[in-house]
A and B are shown apart, each in its own frame.
Chain A
Amino acid sequence: MNASSSALPGLFRTCPVTGLKVHGPAENLIKANAVVAVVTFLVGLVAALLLALTRWQAVHLLPADWYYRLVTAHGLNMLIFFIIFFEMAVLYFAGPILLNARLPMPKVGWLAFVLMVVGAILVEYSVFTGQADVMFTSYPPLRANPNYYLGIILFAVGALLVTILFFATLIVAKKERTYEGSVPLVTFGALTAAIIAVITLLHGAIIMIPAWLWSMDLMPMDPQVYRLIFWALGHSSQQINVAAMVSIWYFMAGITIGGVVLNEKISRLAFVLYILFISMASAHHLLVDPGFGPAWKVVNTSYFMYMAVLASMIHGFTVPAGMEVGMRLRGYTKGLFEWLQKAPWSDPGFSATFLSLVIFGFLGGVTGVVIGTEQINIIAHNTLRIPGHFHVTVVGGTALAFMGVTYYVVPLIFRKQIVGMSWARIQPYIFGAGIVIMATGMTIAGMFGVPRRHWDISFTQAPFKVEFPAASDMALGLLGIGGIIAFVGGLIYTLVVVASVFFGPSYTEEMARTGKGNVPAPLHKLPPQVHNKDEHHAPGTMVLVFIFLAVFAVYFFTNWKVLSMIWKVG
């Protein structure tokens, strides 16, 4: 992996664990972005707990104004600030570090960082002072203070600069021959995320600049056009997450258990399918809107015949199958599942990755495709089924994968040992379980029609009462309990990371070379990243994916059946 030396050799160090050459300025930007990501995560996390305790109708904690304010704050901190700051760190890692290259123009990286931080602060200030009670979606004619839109614009410009730096890194690395052959699959996946990010952020500019001008009465705004273009920002940004998360799955599969890439062609083609089709998913939010006809809805909501779903189903096979083959090549060949039984379940990096894969695939993917089916959306739109879906994609999937990789970023980049390793070991299970329980509660409540973003489903101040069945109250109880458990998991993550990064003992080169130190076990002796045999046999994974398909089919057709029983409409 150590290719020819590049410019400015003094700014490089060689990682004693992976052998990668680490560029100092890139490393510092990873640190800065990761730290801000964790801070914004904490803000979103506290809001999450208060929201869960409000939607749990028996507790009903917050007053109405603070409930809506915190829904806004929670959405922005988690979906935009935490995730995108973390993804900036991922780009600085997958570009310069994985390619042994220097980061060109690190000052631009810092400019971008400042823009993003200033933008985030403007948004936080507007939201917490009650000047932007407009939800994450800010649908006009609901209006926020102009600073709110300006903050989003500054943040987006900063993120756009980072993607440009990533592309520049690829060019520099190629030119300076810091690697041989093609870029690694993980970098290819990050490139996919960066390209989708450009598509997303340009749409963000196309809609947020007019919204900003509109908020100052400088131009008109059509509510339906806003919804259309906003979702090319709002939903597509979740597709950056998908591509980044899948890249991390491949990364962690290799680092934790020596998982292999079964076939570079198949995995890369699947990433290309994301680039081509995934942005069409904006239509998922517009399926019961008056502005669009059925042909537009069918073609777009299905990512042109489900080509992006095909891509996810491919990764959903190749990642675990790559893990299985890697483990089989290392000698874990007994039966269907020895590779899984003997996997390092006490390594939070591995457990978080595998849980992320299962939660995203089985729960997130299936619920998403089903509620994103044009007609089935009639019995799902704006109910709790929607957050029930995206909490098992972006939280149980993406955020959990990001948490897992953090346990490796701390020793490898911050060069600190993990403080509270025994807490870290159980953290992915607590967080994953909490999210699954909460999202299940949301989905069940949503099936009874319980609306999302709604302060009081007992309608005490309304002209008519709405009497939800006891089952939906129970589902909201699940939401609350799951929310508390997930909060605990999130808090452990934050505390472990903050304690390790700021107060933890160093992870020295000596420790890394001799396999010592309080770090995830695979770092003591990295599993082989190159195997000298070929193997394509993954029978355990075959069983798992066909179980997945059966679950998918049952849920899909059940929803059509439920839809067929309501009033005729059309």
Chain B
Amino acid sequence: MMHSGIVAPKGLWWVPAGKQEKLWVTVAFIWCMILFLSMPFWHMVGGQNTTGVRSRVDPAAFNSRTEKFVQAYKVGEENGLPVVAPPAGSHVYIRAGGFTWYPQVLKLKVGVSYTIHLSSIDVNHGFSVFPINLNFQVVPGYDYALTMTPNEAGEYRVMCNEFCGLAHHTMVAKVIVEP
């Protein structure tokens, strides 16, 4: 006796499953474990993780750290905007707010690691590096410090990919990675 899903089953229905069902449930379970283990595995061997160093930060404090960072490593100007070239291994502060990234032009070197601090002084923003499609959320009141190592020279863009207001689509910065 078999019935459809609109029929109220009478009597005992807690019976063993058929062979094919058992096989599929087993295979699906094993696949789920593979999916799960892939993440801790990548934490051990992979180069791309989301861990970083995360802390709360007062927007005013982050703002002054960013200003200090820009003043310390400014190497020139482009259209009146500071061009910043931090040394290897340094802490880089990128402030989001008012539909701009600050600093707006950043010079990095291939194969060198930087600790990049992301935060916002107004609303949520999205840190999205073009064309490698690397994305992190920028949340006001939080400092997300991620160690990044560019692996190829070229001109990159940082777009905002979290809606931040009516001029959201004008928010973009330039990153130059030198060989």
Contacts and interface: CB of A to CB of B under 8 A. Distances in A.
A468 B174 CA distance: 15
A466 B124 contact: no
Q: Which of the four size classes fits the interface of chain A?
A: 35 or more
A1 B3 CA distance: 12
Interface string A129-149: 000010100011110000000
A208 interface: no
B5 A261 contact: yes
A104 B157 CA distance: 60
Nearest to B124: A139
Interface in A59-89: 64-65, 68, 71
A474 interface: no
Given A183-B8, A383-B133, A569-B147, A222 B39 contact: no
Contact of B1 (A294, A463, A532, A569): A532
A138 to B, nearest CB: 10
Contacts of B169: 64, 454-457, 459, 461-462
B137 A381 contact: yes
A265 interface: yes
Contact of A530 (B1, B29, B36, B49): B1
B153 interface: no
A369 B35 contact: yes
A530 B140 contact: no
Interface in A519-535: 529-535
A305 B36 contact: yes
Contacts of A185: 5-6, 9
A549 B172 contact: no
Interface string B148-172: 1111000001011111111111111
A536 interface: yes
Interface of A: 1, 18, 64-65, 68, 71, 98-99, 133, 135, 139-142, 179-186, 189, 222-224, 227, 247, 250-251, 253-255, 258-266, 286-294, 297-298, 301-302, 305-307, 309-310, 313-314, 317-318, 321-322, 325-326, 329, 369, 373-375, 377-383, 447-449, 451-457, 459, 461-464, 466, 468-469, 529-538, 541-542, 545, 549, 552-553, 556, 560, 563-564, 566-570
Interface of B: 1-11, 13-15, 17-21, 23-25, 27-29, 31-33, 35-36, 38-40, 42-43, 46-52, 54, 79, 81, 100, 104, 113, 118, 122-124, 126, 128-137, 139-144, 146-151, 157, 159-174
The 6 residue pairs across chains A and B that have the minimum distance between CB atoms: A254-B4, A536-B18, A250-B5, A451-B161, A181-B10, A290-B144
